Every structure is written in C-alpha cells, then in structure tokens.
Amino acid sequence: MKKILPALVPGFAVGVLQIVPMLKSFACCLLIPLAGFFSVTLYQKSTGSENKIGISKGIVLGLFTGIFAAVFTSLFEIFITLITKSNDLVLTYNELIQTMDSLPFDAALKQQVIDLMGSMKTEIQTTGFSLLYSFTIIFNNFLTNTIFGMIGGAIGAQYVNSKFKRNNHVE
C-alpha cells in the first residue's frame, strides 16, 4: 500500500489531465514522466524518510504510476467516446487523410489504410465504440505510460538522491 498510494494519485491525475485537449497540447510528452517523478517525491514524503531512495524502488513506483495512468486514461477515453461519439481520431480524420494523400505511393495501398481508419471512425460516430480503436488505445496507453512512468521514476529517484549527498544509507 505504501507504494500503491503515491503512484495512484499522480496516475489518476494523468488520467484526468490527458483528456483535457488544451493541456495535452501544453504538457506534451512531459505529463507521464512528471507523474513518475512526483510518485517518488510523494513516496518520500509519505514515509517521512530522510534517506536515499533505491533506484529500483523509483522505477517500480514509476511503473505503478504508468499502469494507473494507463488504466484511468483508457477508461476515461473509452467512456467519453461512448458518450460523445467523438474523439481524437474523428476530429483529426480529415487532417490524417490529407497527410495520407500527400504521400506518393500506390493508391490501393493508401486506400486500404484509409478504409481501416474510416471504419473505426464510422463505428465511433454511430455506436460510440470501436473494438479495434479501443484495443489500440489500451495497448498504446499501457506501452507508453509504463515506459515513460519508469523513466520518470528513475529520474525522480536520482533527483531526490542528489539532495542527500552526505547520507549514504539507501532504503
């Protein structure tokens, strides 16, 4: 529980913040590593420790943060898509098609990719749910959030430890 709670708070925060479009544009790729970073500082505060934190502990905290962030982000995204019948794919679909059209390759190949994206878009607009799209976002959220969370956790532990140069005891 000591490791879960400091990871749950920033993980949930990321889940909420990632669905705010303007903030996503502002925070970009820093949101998840920052959450991992904060989970380490929260852990230090919650334990009241004055000692260095183990790097592996930082990585584990970052991993938990990433997992929580992935769960909440995926849940919120699927739920909001279900209600609004719109999401990033629907909103940027025309832009994506324009980008695809600008590429100089085989029209049949291009059409296959456009059809695939088009079927996902239609499903979302009619039912609010696309199995393929949901699977893609769950897989991608878990992949990126856990990796970036662990990076943030390791950086957080290294940063916290740099404050305790004289104290060599590692928890």
Shortest CB 2 distance to other proteins, Å: 20
Shortest CB 127 distance to other proteins, Å: 19
Cβ proximity to other proteins, 8 vs 77, nearer residue: 77
Residues 6 or more apart in contact with residue 131 via CB below 8 angstroms: 123
Single out the residue of 2, 48, 83, 106 in contact with other proteins (rule: CB under 8 A): 106
Phi, psi (degrees; rounded to nearest 5) at 166? -80, -30
* DSSP secondary structure, the chain, as one string: -TTHHHHHHHHHHHHHHTT-HHHHHHHGGGHHHHHHHHHHHHHHHHHT--SB--HHHHHHHHHHHHHHHHHHHHHHHHHHHHHHS--HHHHHHHHHHHHHHTS-S-HHHHHHHHHHHHHHHHHHHHHS--HHHHHHHHHHHHHHHHHHHHHHHHHHHHHHHTT-SS---B-
Give the binding range for other proteins (CB under 8 A) out of 1-9, 43-51, 111-119, 121-129.
111-119
Footprint of other proteins on 141-170 (CB under 8 A): 141, 143-145, 148, 151, 154-155, 157-159, 162-163
Single out the residue of 110, 123, 125, 128 in contact with other proteins (rule: CB under 8 A): 110
74-103 mask for other proteins (x: CB under 8 A)? --------------xx-----xx--xx-xx
Interface residue list for other proteins (CB under 8 A): 24-26, 28-29, 32-33, 55-56, 58-59, 88-89, 95-96, 99-100, 102-106, 109-110, 113, 116-117, 136-137, 140-141, 143-145, 148, 151, 154-155, 157-159, 162-163
